[in-house]
Amino acid sequence: MDERPHLARLLDAACERHPDKIAIVSGDRQVSCADLRETAARLAGTLADAGLAGDRIATLLPNGPELIVCYLAC
């Protein structure tokens, strides 16, 4: 059984169906589903490598793509 949060599974399903669809628009920036998933996965790996898997993570980010990536990575 997949133990990842439901939101991560929903993102994976969206990426499988529509990897090039735009997931986030912030000003003139656009992030595709595939880019969002890849970036979140890289950050999740970095946090795990730092020994932070399962720990609480505090963020201080403005509303934008980076905040969503961090949320998904955690």
Token pair, residue 15, equals 């990426």
Distance CA 20, CA 17 (A): 9
Token pair, residue 64, equals 């934008």
5 has pLDDT over 80: no
Higher pLDDT, 8 or 42: 42
- The pLDDT confidence band at residue 6, using thresholds 50, 70 and 90, is confident
- Has residue 61 been placed in a domain? yes
Domain region containing 21: 6-73
Q: How many structural domains are present in the chain?
A: 1
Token pair, residue 26, equals 């912030």
CB 26 within 8 A of CB 64: yes
CATH code, domain carrying 35: 3.40.50.980
- Has residue 65 been placed in a domain? yes
- Has residue 18 been placed in a domain? yes
DSSP letter for each residue of 2-32: --S-HHHHHHHHHHHH-TTSEEEEETTEEEE
Token pair, residue 45, equals 């790996």
- Has residue 1 been placed in a domain? no
pTM (whole model) above 0.85: no
Report the chain's mean pLDDT, rounded to a whole number.
90
- Read off the pLDDT of residues 45-72 as tens digits, 9 standing for 90 and up: 999 999 998 888 899 999 999 999 999 9
